[in-house]
Structure 1
Amino acid sequence: MKFADIPGLADLKARLIDSVKQNHIAHAQLFLGKPGALNLPLALAYATYLHCENKGEHDCCGTCAACSKNLKYIHPDTSFVFPFRSIPKSEEADQVKAETLKLWRSFLLNQPFDDLTGWINQYEGEDKPASISVETSREIIRTLSLKSFESKYKIMLIWQPELMHPSAANGILKILEEPPANTFFLLVSNAAERLLPTVLSRTQLVQVPLLTDDEIENYLDQKLSVSQDRRSEIVQLADGNLNQAIKLTSSEDDHYADKFADWMRSCFKRDYGKLVAFADDFHDLDKLNQRNLFLYGLGLMRETLLHHSGAEGISRAKSGELKFVKDFSKVMNVDKIASVNSLISGAHYNLERNGSAKMIFLDLSLQIANVLNPN
């Protein structure tokens, strides 16, 4: 991974590069971000830059021997620790670990912006909890006790350290605080509150924000050639999460804006026949598109509130979406917006708990009709 492969985050990239140029590299850094933040790609690009033999002004060279290995995640002086299922005694541990490392490299190459769920699906471990075992902490210490093979630096990248067994986390405290010379820990986390305070106190925080709407939209346009109307819908749903945005591009090309607008008009008109037909159509959607329609609706409630309150300057709505929001905000007030938002949130909650999609949608439609047009 190179810095150039990561959209946005220009200031953060510059700060990391400058730390290397000035030789002010913290021995243990915590790349912290909300789910969907690009903290893992950023840590990978940072590791590549550290090993690069011909560092550029703004990125690694990408062509030296070190870069060639790093871009395939096979550099001998970069070690990876990541959550995995427990290995029963009936399996050959060394063979499982070797196969898992191949899967990990494939995961990073093919799905560089994916999350823990994507990794678990990669090794087909959906029915088994993923964690970082006590034995892994011993392997960390053994690995870092060896001299570097090729590079000036040794790097230990720990992804999802919040999933470390408490004994494993305690087992690396000493080496985390006082690693061998030119050895660096890069911890990549989405939940600092689940880390041991003793781990937090030994790391320097690198806060990684979610991408802006413009950065998401530019990526969808330039890298994936997504149409403008579809980009607007995806940006609303992704809310700064590039991984979510990419997955939405491969889902059914559903026009949530049109569906939601027709649904709200039918609720306002109390067109019960059409609402029943909508419920049937909703039932036929897959779970992802059912969830996304509700999430899109919640986003539109936000936009409606902004326009109703005269705060259009921070609105995300564009093109056809914007026209609907402007018209919808004329018949809404703050109480109605809050009520509809609460109803959609409750329906989303019930849907996630495997309630009947048709019943949830029809009940929601009738309740929204009462809010929009109580007479």
Structure 2
Amino acid sequence: MVGRDDQRERLVEHLTTGYSGEPKVIPIVGMGGIGKTTLANEVYSDTCIRSHFDVCAWATISQQHNVKEILLSLLRSTKVDKVFSESEAELANMLQKSLKGKRYLIVLDDIWKTEAWDAVRQCFPRENKGSGILLTTPNTEVARYAGTKNSLPMRFMDQDESLNLFRSVAFSSEELPSELETIGKQIVDECHGLPLTIVMVAGLLKSKRAIEDWESVSKDVKSFVTNDPDERCSRVLGDIPVKRLVISWMAEGFLKLENDLEGEAEKCLQELVDRCLVLVCKKSLDGTKIRSCKVHDLIYDLCLREIQRENIFIMNDIVLEFNSGWKYLSMRKMQPFKRVTGDEIDYCPNGLYRALLTPVHLQLRDHDNNDLLK
């Protein structure tokens, strides 16, 4: 909960004061690993919350939601002590009866789709004044669909918060030794304010005190983001102009509609933003159009893995090498690859290639081009 105490206090106050009419619905929105569930759990376990509400119930939804399992989780949380073998409709009726006339708090954790909200919303009595429903979701469309203006967007941690979280996991109550302070800051900076990444890296170092181990992890974190630290900001978290992105989507054939490709591209981009996979950098003056965007390094790494797994295209580390007098291009980082050695071309099995990349200082001659076209 480093750096999140103010959000927790606001949520607790919002849930326990100023009620009138239907239950308050408060979505916590953000990308995976940013701390939505942790924040919801802190609120759910708060002593003020426990004393204020008659019933507190929690259900984890997940991407492939199962309505019966959701209802069972909520019924178990309400301490209905029996074995459930009823149908989905009967379980929904039982849940509604167990909540009727009581001031309740329901937490629906990790809700991805509006259909999951539709499936359970009718089970929560609307006439119970003072009740609340807390949602955690990576999808802003779900938050909007829930019909509330109380949405809480989760932010990335700043440098101080990131370092404090790192210290608390790696060293518990101990002070961070001075010889590890500098390299610890470098490691934290590479996590770009995402709590999940910070906790994972800190957990790796929890039992390690040798500076060599920390230096090794520091190098791994850097390679996790990019192979060239000097280009990290521009390649990973730098602005991506939407106009260039849309043109690329059109050229690659990702947009299938024959008419209004730009409109379709805007819808696709907005969907990625709504799912917290893409972050908005700049908007138009009237706020209606996204001008530039970026992705977190965790998403960037996922993209690279998918590229490699699906054989979509080749990138990174193209170098001109000399071997026994022959010049050849070597793709060393991304697999599968196609390697040119003299007049022969070696193909990786099952490769699907879309481009040949060459060093800028090497001009392919005509006979080279003919060999490659074969």
Band the TM-score falls in, shorter-chain normalisation: 0.3 to 0.5
Q: Highest relative contact order (Cα 8 Å, sep 6+), 1 or 2?
A: 1
Query: Which structure's residues are more often strand, by fraction?
Result: 2
Between Structure 1 and Structure 2, whose CA radius of gyration is higher?
2
Query: Which structure's residues are more often helix, by fraction?
Result: 1
TM-score, scaled to structure 2: 0.47
